[in-house]
Amino acid sequence: MEKLRILVVDNNEGLRATLAEVLGTLGHQVVATGDRHEALGREDLDGFDVIISDLTEEADPDHIISEQHRKRLITPIARNGEQSSEIIKAFKMGAVSLYGQRGDHDELRQIIEQTLSYKLKCVDDPALLPHVHEMIEFELPSDLSLMNGVLQYLLERVSKLGIVTPERSNLFIALDEAFVNAVKHGNKNDPSKLLRVTAELSPREACFTVEDEGRLQHAGDSESLRSGESVQDLGTRRIAHLQHHGRS
């Protein structure tokens, strides 16, 4: 088994300790910190294969953050309106150092699924859920075997926030198709390319973006997208946008 280096940045002491223990038990080297300034002061981010972070730029707007630290550690926040009472939550998981590696991503898949499983076990305060504005971002090698855990995690979060009832929604199908399109048609099953998945969640709506590094070749490339979704060709990458409004 290949030993990977993992950086965990999370202010939840219990989750941070659990992830360090669980991922360490899998045989990987884990560095865990809850100190924002320590994390943003690290000069060895390129030495980590996987980075898990809950940092947002809003937490310290006056602190100058380098482009590398912003890309690897920070989840951008886009507020829905001017609701200052919103509780901002962020989660970012990236494995950009591993893209381009051909072969088995089984170790990375285990890391993703174990991390997301324990994230889901963190108890949300029901009284606070109506005020939560959550940003989630994944940046992973273009490999469908990594996407099942991501898909299940996103569905669990939208269900927890009360946006959808999974068994009554086509959200699973829409997200699954977007992942398959991005990996197979966008990135042509090329592991040297990345897949970026972002989700903006609130009790009002869920917005998803699935971004690959492929090119739209013709109009037929977007045939499988459903109403309310779109594909945008930005020259160097394709982006699928999905939006789902909460129950009234």
Residue 239 CA: distances (Å) to CA of 171, 186, 198 = 17, 9, 11
Question: What are the structural domains, with CATH classification, of the chain?
Answer: 67-245 (3.30.565.10)
pLDDT tens digits in sequence order for the chain, 248 residues long:
578 999 999 999 999 999 999 999 999 999 999 999 999 999 999 999 999 999 987 656 667 788 888 889 998 876 554 455 678 899 999 998 775 555 568 999 999 999 999 999 997 888 888 888 999 999 999 999 999 999 999 999 999 988 877 677 788 898 999 999 999 989 998 888 999 999 999 888 889 999 998 865 433 333 333 334 444 444 445 556 776 665 54
Residue 122 CA: distances (Å) to CA of 118, 156, 174 = 7, 12, 27
- Residues 15, 30 contacting (CB under 8 angstroms): no
